[in-house]
Structure 1
Amino acid sequence: MKKSNPKDKMENKNQGNVIPATQIIFDKIDALKDNNTIKIEMILNYLKELTIGQTIKKGESLTYVLCGKKWTINIIDITPVAELVCIDQNTQFKLQDQQLQVQNSQQLSQIEQQQQLMYYDHLFNEIQQIIEQNIGEQSNEISLMNLPLIKGVLISGLTGTGKTTILQMLRDKYVEYKPVLISINHLDANNKELQQLLEISQQRNNLILIDDLSSLTDDNMQNVKPSLFKIFDNIQNKKSLIIATITSIKDIPDNLRRSGRFEKEIIIDQPNHEKRVDIMTNEFMKQNIEIEKEILKEISYQMSGFTVNDIRCLVREFYLLKNIQGDNKIKLRQSLQKLNPSGIRDLLADVPKVQWDDIGGYEDIKQEIKKVVEWPLKYPEQFKKLGITPSKGILLYGPPGCSKTLLARALCTQCNLAFIAVKGPEIFSKYVGDSEKTVREIFKKARICAPSVLFFDEIDAIAPQRQGSTDVSDRVLIQLLTEIDGFESLKNVIIIAATNRPASIDKALLRPGRFDHLVFVDVPDRDGRKAIFEVNLKKMKVNEDVTQGLQNLIDKTIGYTGAEICQICREAGLNALNRNIDNEFIDLKDFEMALQKVKPNVTHEDRYQFLQFAKLAQ
């Protein structure tokens, strides 16, 4: 077989009978060990750039250099058929396998749709039933019984849950109903597509599919509403049905949500644990990646709020790590940490990620918190087998500045849990009923985001001991107890509360079944202070005398909280800059000066009160 080098451009490419090739088919790419589509396209594009202007014929082979090695690729077909053709910008390079894929694209599309149906099977069946009953064969029976037909269906769900995919599948499946699919966010300024839809609705029976009503602003909604009303009026006496998607039902006006308009509402929930495992299994199989089911189950418990699209992104991130040596579980965790679940992104505020290593000391407390929260998520089958009910809540109490909030944040970061923080005073409102409503909304958010941690800072401000009155604090406490004990399950929702006044909290909250674990977060001991100094000094440029004098600093900070030790380190840095703005290192004397300024705020009496409460809580 004759070989030609891409670098050898032929001068006569436009002479004689040489015509441009529209398509060149090659046999295979030896440089690749797998059939990765992205890599194939990259190499074919690279080869095309090298060969533009070259003349070739069927049966030749091309050579190219990749990663310092020479490779050969054989030409097995050329379009159009000619003795000699030239390569130009419009020539398409394809592999034989890709050509077969193009020929069978319709069959592959059907297979892909069947796989997608698995994700929405129950939902798709419900929509199919509505279509058959209202514009299909069953609609005749309903009309004979003089019953009204459904004219509009709203499918709601968060971004990435598959709303658009469902509309596309409906369009492809129900060709006999002449489906029309328009996307609201692609409407032009004159709403021409909507006007065409208006005309179509007057002329014939059909299935009308409208994607993304949520993209309408308030002003646009006012402009579009009259057209939607008119379309609904046009189809009242026809076998037509409108199915629209929306992010939230609240985004659509009430006068569009009534009989004869969008009277049927279907909510797409985020995949639950079992469904996430099924989707991951299927998506990994598509990429010829095999991962043990037990690993997928364990990872799935950390994927609250993940939509189908998020799971595909997880597979993509894992694929990029595929050739890196390591345990699949570890690589999955690494992939997971790179993603934010779109299903709950709008419900959560951005919270700084905190690792366990960022918190010096408190090793016993870290282990206890991990045991209470992490074990039920990692080993749910064992808990179920032994009939153990996971704890609902943890109360962290101790002096201010002892890392109570940081411990809760680190737990969420380490276990990949949604973190919902609530400050006590934020709940209260001067309007009757608003405070209780806020509590209900907070718990609703926690259930949606599960597995999640609901963190109440200053819980003593929310749930002080009742005085027998009917003021707002008592009503909030009753609502809080109702949510914890209520009929709606708090599955995979852990409540963590922090306070520096544990004796002020109503006793009803502290009984088993509510806050099961009362954890005393004391001022750090000697080992704890050493760990806190070491965590801070890692980030600072200090002289050797600081390292040598560290034991002395530890001895001088007895009774200091973690926050006060961090403040000493900051003050030491400022002292170094104050001596000389160009200082490159912080000296021991800077720390000693900081010790003179930062004094411990926790008194012996304060500690005694906490220790007394700890004894009673045992």
Structure 2
Amino acid sequence: MPATDFKKELAALIKARFPIIYIVTWEEKRFVDTVKAMLQDTSLFNKPRPVWEWTVVDGYLKNNRLEKGDVKTAMRALEVADELEEDGVLILKDLYAQLANPNCEQNIIRKLKDLVWRIKEGDWLKTIIITGHDKFIPDALQKEILIKEFSMPTADELQQVLSNLIEQNKQNQRLRFELNANATARLCEAAFGLTLNEAENAFALSLVNDGVLDINDITTIAEEKKQILHRNGLLEFSMPKLKMQDIGGLENLKRWLEKRADSWSEQAKKYNIPAPRGVLITGLPGCGKSLTAKTVSTSWNVPLLKLDMGAVFSGLVGSSERNMRTVIQTAEAMSPCVLWIDEIEKAFSGVGSSGDSGTATRLFGTFLTWMQEKEKFVFVVATANNIDYLPPELMRKGRFDEIFFVDLPTRAERKVIIDIHLKKRLTHPEVLGNLKLDDSFIDPLVEKTEGFTGAELEQVVIGGLFEAFSENRPIAMDDFITTIDNTVPLVVTQSEKIRAIRDWANVRAVSATAVNHKITGNPAADTKKPDEEASRGGRSIEF
């Protein structure tokens, strides 16, 4: 929510005489500054109103000056708020610590309940605002206190921080600022999801590293953001270097993604098209699902946030729900971005079962609601190996835009994959020797690796290189053949599982690879068609 919208909404609540409001925020100072500016805005209020700030250290401050003597206990702070005969807003910064205590004193709960009606029916226009970094409200007060979240800084606020930094340091001859309007906008966009203090630190660090602040400092800001996210352990931030060209095959999926690049831009709004919500990629292990998730952010030039669902499920009562809210808030604050949930079936497989204590069901409900109603551009890429474990509600239209099935690589895809890995690793002339990586060398490997996954093809190349390395000689065809002969592919060890997944995908998913005909359902038979472009699971779609 933009800062102006928040001010208008909070002003409306104050004028409507909402007695107690709980604001969730990590930025006390920015919030207090916003409230002070709001109460001085004559377009919102007929006359200015004072702001009182209370902490357990200083007691009450009014206009940054100590007021009301030694008021350092929560109970006494509430009594003073009750006794105050003056219009105004009282911001209680440290009361959340009392409310967060499972053994919150009953006299504090009772005093807050009484204050609700005394303020409503009193002669003075008073509002109590409690600030905290999370929702710490005892059950007895859930119906008495309104909860609102103070959003992360907007682009305009981040730009103001950057402008202030430049203004304060422009006289320093050892520092240079090489920023035009586009570079400034890009730096501020890179700082989305940071508090004003964190953003200022990131800008300052970028400046002192080399004495120059320019568009190249996006990398420094991204690294700082990565470190900040790493502290909560829920999201892993990265800007992968992988490209779509690094994926062999999966042309349907890649073209689908390419058509939706920049779909959150101003240009896209002219077409009145909604930004894509996300995709669910299912299929066999080692066939490129995770690799695709990483390449989406690179192709779209947006950050990648990887969600650790294991960290979300905390052992403390209420912690898991709080962690999920933190994930959603952080992802939306960093919009536009890609949110990758790997092996999503492991997170939500127990929903609704007798072994579920209710936590998984609540988290699943929160996630579904957000997927359905989110307005910020957070593109969710969920990958799953076993689709049978996923609740059916997750797969209906409106959650994900499409469900793609990734099968074993076709002959053409195997050729591309082997070529990618050979050229990636055979870079030294002494290792390559007289070998030429042309069709005459690659085609025999393609024929012998029928039924291999993409991960298995990579290991064929790595295994062949180890054969040559162990004898300190150039690579030879026999090195790869030896590795292939010693490999038992997934199609052999899990043939029944592959058949079941393909049967499911035939009617419920779209093939990630362009297809010519339906599969037989027999993995062993399907892998004996080297000249056919592929036996694939999943519906074919045209582009």
Report the TM-score range of the alignment, normalised by the length of the smaller protein.
0.5 to 0.7
Deviation at 1:253, TM superposition (A): 0.8
Residue identity matched to 2:93: D
Residue identity matched to 2:128: I
2:487 to 581, 594, 598: 598
Q: Give CA-to-partner distance per residue, 1:456-501, whole Å, 9 cap, x none.
A: 66789999xxxxxxxx9xx99xx99996995x35652434455679
Which residue in the other structure is 2:285 paired with?
Answer: 400
| Mapped partners of 1:513, 1:229: distance in 2 | 43
Q: What is the correspondence of 1:134-533 to structure 2 with a 5 Å cutoff?
A: 150-158=18-26, 162-163=30-31, 165-166=33-34, 179-182=52-55, 193-194=72-73, 197=77, 200=80, 204-205=84-85, 208-215=90-97, 219=101, 222=103, 226-227=107-108, 229-230=110-111, 239=124, 241-249=127-135, 251-259=136-144, 263-271=145-153, 275-276=154-155, 278-286=156-164, 287-288=166-167, 291-295=179-183, 305-320=193-208, 323-324=211-212, 328-332=214-218, 334-340=220-226, 348-350=234-236, 354-356=240-242, 360-362=246-248, 365=251, 368=255, 371-377=258-264, 380-394=265-279, 396=281, 399-412=284-297, 414-420=301-307, 450-453=335-338, 455=340, 488=373, 492-496=377-381, 498=383, 515=401, 523=409, 524-533=413-422
Which fold has the larger relative contact order, with Cα–Cα distance below 8 Å and residues 6 or more apart in sequence?
Answer: 2
Runs of at least 5 residues in structure 1 that lack an aligned partner in the other structure: 1-117, 135-148, 428-437, 464-471
Residue identity matched to 2:157: I
| Mapped partners of 1:512, 1:123: distance in 2 | 29
Which residue in the other structure is 1:16 paired with?
Answer: none
Deviation at 1:408, TM superposition (A): 0.3
| Mapped partners of 1:185, 1:369: distance in 2 | 58
- Residue 127 to residue 347, structure 1, CA distance change in 2 (3 Å): farther
Is 1:161–1:268's contact at 8 Å kept on the other side of the alignment?
no
Question: Normalising by the residue count of structure 2, what TM-score does the alignment of the two structures yield?
Answer: 0.58
- Matched pairs, number: 440
1:565 to 440, 454, 457: 457
Residue identity matched to 1:526: K
Deviation at 1:181, TM superposition (A): 2.2
Is 1:458–1:500's contact at 8 Å kept on the other side of the alignment?
yes
Deviation at 1:338, TM superposition (A): 3.3
Residue identity matched to 1:617: I
Deviation at 1:550, TM superposition (A): 8.2
Deviation at 1:356, TM superposition (A): 0.5
Q: What is the correspondence of 1:533-572 to structure 2 with a 5 Å cutoff?
A: 533-535=422-424, 544-545=430-431, 551=437, 555-556=444-445, 558-559=449-450, 560-568=452-460
- Residue 245 to residue 445, structure 1, CA distance change in 2 (3 Å): closer
* Higher radius of gyration, 1 or 2: 1
Is 1:576–1:587's contact at 8 Å kept on the other side of the alignment?
yes
Deviation at 1:182, TM superposition (A): 0.7
Deviation at 1:341, TM superposition (A): 9.4
Which residue in the other structure is 2:66 paired with?
Answer: none
- Residue 306 to residue 204, structure 1, CA distance change in 2 (3 Å): closer
* 1:617 counterpart = 2:541: yes
Residue identity matched to 1:226: N
| Mapped partners of 1:490, 1:129: distance in 2 | 23
- Residue 604 to residue 440, structure 1, CA distance change in 2 (3 Å): farther
- Residue 549 to residue 208, structure 1, CA distance change in 2 (3 Å): same
Q: Which SS does the other structure have where 1:338 is aligned?
A: helix
Q: Which SS does the other structure have where 1:226 is aligned?
A: helix
Runs of at least 5 residues in structure 2 that lack an aligned partner in the other structure: 42-46, 60-69, 168-176, 314-322, 349-355, 492-522
Residue identity matched to 1:375: D
Deviation at 1:311, TM superposition (A): 3.8
CA RMSD of aligned residues (A): 6.0
Q: Which SS does the other structure have where 1:412 is aligned?
A: helix
Is 1:361–1:532's contact at 8 Å kept on the other side of the alignment?
no
| Mapped partners of 1:247, 1:512: distance in 2 | 32
Is 1:359–1:535's contact at 8 Å kept on the other side of the alignment?
no
